[in-house]
Structure formats: C-alpha cells, structure tokens
Amino acid sequence: MNIAIIGPGAIGGTMAAWLGQNPDHAVTVCARSPLDSISLQTPDGTLTATPTVLTDPADAIPLDWVLVTIKTYDIASAQTWLDRLVGPQTRVAVLQNGVEHIQRFAHLLPAERIVPVVVDFPASRLSPGRYAQGLYGSMAVPVGRNGDDFVALFAGCRIAIASDADFQSRAWAKLCLNCAGAVPTLTQRGTGAVWTPELEALIRALVEECAAVARAEGATIAQSVIESVVDAARNAPPTSSNSMQADRLAGRAMEIEARNGVIVRLGARHGIATPMNALMVTLLNASGSPWVQT
Ligand SMILES: NC(=O)C1=CN([C@@H]2O[C@H](COP(=O)(O)OP(=O)(O)OC[C@H]3O[C@@H](n4cnc5c(N)ncnc54)[C@H](OP(=O)(O)O)[C@@H]3O)[C@@H](O)[C@H]2O)C=CC1
Ligand SMILES: CC(C)(CO)C(=O)C(=O)O
C-alpha cells in the first residue's frame, strides 16, 4: 500500500515507525520541515524507519491511504496536502481526539472516504524524527470495509487495532478521558500528588458532564468509564502528560474546542448544563497563546 502521513508529530511519527516495518508498504511523511529518518522508542525496544519525506505539497501524488495526524487546530493548513494526495480511490484516516472526526473534514472530502480513528495510547515527540510510545495501547475504527482495510494496514503491529461496532461510544469514552486532561494542562503537573476531595469533585464533574452529553448524543457510557478516568487522575504521577499539556508547555495552540468546547456546544443543543467544561474553555483560552482559539 502507498500511505501518506500528514503531520510527523507524536502520533504521525509513531504511525510512520510501525507502518515502516512492513516491506509491502511505501510510506510518505508530509512535513513542514525536513526529517532524516524515524526512530520510535516502544515499550520493548526501538523501531526505525526511513519513509519518503515531502515538505512541498506540489510533490505529492494521489495514494491509497492518507493518515491525518495533525492537531485539530491545523486542519485548514492540511488542505493543500489533501488536494494533491487524494484521488478517486484514496481513503483518509483521521487520527485525532474528539468526536467530530468526519465533520472536521466533511468540507474537504466525501464522508464515505473519511475513516475516523480513536487513538488510545500516549506518545510524545522527543525531537524531530524521534518519538516515544509509552504503551502499546489500542486504536479503534468503525466496522465496515474502510475500518477492515485500515486494520489490515497494521498487520504485525503490537498496537491492538480493531473495528468497534459502537464506535460512537468508543470516541465519547475517549473524550471522557481527554476532557479531564484540561486540569493538568492548566496546572502543568500530574494530578496524583496534589489530589484533594475538591480536585476529585472538579474532575468528576468534567467527566460527568461529558458522559451526560455523550448519552444525549446516543452513546453508551458506563459508570465504570467515569470511575476509571477519576482513578487515573487520582494516580497520575507528577510527570504524566497529555498532548494538550504538551501544546501549552510549548506555547502552541491547543485543542480546546475539540476536547472541552465540543461538550459545551453539544450540551447546549440538548439543554444539558456543562459549567465545568465551560470554565476549562475560558481558563484555557485565557492561559494559552493569545492568537488562537481552537
Ligand atoms: N500525543 C498523544 O499521546 C495522543 C494524541 N492524540 C491526538 O492525535 C492528534 C495528533 O496529536 P499529536 O501527534 O500529539 O500532535 P503533535 O503536535 O505532536 O504533532 C502534530 C504534527 O502535525 C504537523 N503539522 C501541522 N500542520 C501541518 C501541515 N500543514 N503539514 C504537515 N504537517 C503539519 C506538526 O508540524 P511541526 O512538526 O512543524 O510542528 C506536527 O509535527 C491530536 O488530535 C491529538 O489530540 C490522540 C491520542 C494520544
Ligand atoms: C495520552 C492520551 C491517550 C490521554 O491523555 C491522549 O489522548 C492525549 O494525550 O491526547
């Protein structure tokens, strides 16, 4: 398969490393800056890969698959890549957080070619081309031909990649985790060492608001999902991080709308109050780079 990855960040680099292990794949990384090679620290050792690297969309041609691994606030800048990479047969997998993978790209591509992907493992970019994947974790796609074909790309990969018959619930369950990530993004430290009943109440309220909106949207969220997010926050070590925390630390834009704003927006549509997520949106917008509100 000919596969392009737009965005060689934490997730894009991780994907390039894993897909690069399959000699049947030709992997192209679409980047803003040149890269020599890819090196990924996994829980069991280091993977290396030498994909083709393009920095000019004019050099791209239509391929079988495009994996979009840019942040949600950068989607507009990916259009020039998509214009060149997407032909009549191309499928576009969106590896992003949130619950609006298809809606975000619907103005650029036919919906039936967009494959939403829930990514459930922590990864970080150590330096350009150098990445670390903390856990093998999992990825989920909707059932159907697109999902099956996406799963097949990763034959032999240690990440548990599978289609999920209730993808909507899977994506909302992930958002339950991500909405709570607003707290360490603001405090810039893992919550475990500073755990208090008040902090637990705040994190629980964020997740319960998300779960209520999820259920109104038609997703199934068990109480155990809420408890596992609260438990993870209670036990989070001081050095734990998340991708929005990394953005704030680096002075980049943040996925505020995709991770907390969406809960407020969809909650309003259902008449569900979401004051804690609204508070996070306000504080994150006030704390981040002043030129971006995403
Ligand atoms: N990191 C994680 O552990 C997880 C992240 N996610 C989600 O995955 C998505 C990606 O996150 P993550 O990998 O952490 O993000 P990163 O910020 O690490 O990487 C984003 C990459 O996109 C590149 N980029 C942006 N615009 C363009 C463009 N127009 N052309 C080419 N490259 C571009 C950036 O370029 P440059 O190098 O120039 O900055 C950067 O390399 C997000 O939605 C995130 O929420 C989901 C699960 C876990
Ligand atoms: C690491 C993980 C899985 C949970 O916070 C994540 O989704 C992120 O960092 O964006």
Q: Are residues 18 and 75 in the same domain?
A: yes
Considering the chain, what is the average pLDDT of its residues?
96
Q: Give percent of the chain with pLDDT exceeding 90.
A: 97
- Residue 254 near ligand 1, beta carbon < 6 Å: no
Residue ending a domain, among 164, 193, 225, is: 164
At 294, is the pLDDT very low, low, confident or very high (cuts 50, 70, 90)?
very low
At residue 289, the pLDDT reads: 62
Residue ending a domain, among 164, 193, 226, is: 164
Cα(42)–Cα(134) distance, rounded to whole angstroms?
A: 7
For the segment 90-104, the average pLDDT, to the nearest whole number, is 98
For the segment 179-188, the average pLDDT, to the nearest whole number, is 97
Strand partners, 48: 39
Full domain range(s) for residue 195: 167-287
For the segment 83-100, the average pLDDT, to the nearest whole number, is 97
For the segment 131-144, the average pLDDT, to the nearest whole number, is 97
291 has pLDDT over 80 = no
290 has pLDDT over 70 = no
For the segment 210-238, the average pLDDT, to the nearest whole number, is 98
Q: Looking at the 3D structure of the chain, how many domains does it have?
A: 2
Length of the chain counted residue by residue: 294
293 has pLDDT over 60 = no
Q: Are residues 13 and 119 in the same domain?
A: yes
71 is catalytic: no
Which protein residue has the closest C-alpha to ligand 2 atom 10?
243
Task: Kindly report the CATH number assigned to the domain that includes residue 152.
Answer: 3.40.50.720
Joined together, the tokens standing for residue 169 give 């619930």
CA 134, chain centre distance (Å): 15
Task: Kindly report the CATH number assigned to the domain that includes residue 173.
Answer: 1.10.1040.10
Exposed/middle/buried for 246, CB within 10 Å: 0-12, 13-18, 19+? middle
Q: What's the whole-model pTM score?
A: 0.97
Q: Give residue for tokens 């698959």.
A: 65
Strand partners, 160: 138
- Residue 242 near ligand 2, beta carbon < 6 Å: yes
At 288, is the pLDDT very low, low, confident or very high (cuts 50, 70, 90)?
confident
How many CB atoms lie under 10 A from the CB of residue 283? 16
For the segment 244-251, the average pLDDT, to the nearest whole number, is 95
Q: 117 CA distance to ligand 1 centroid (A)?
A: 14
One-letter amino acid of 289: S
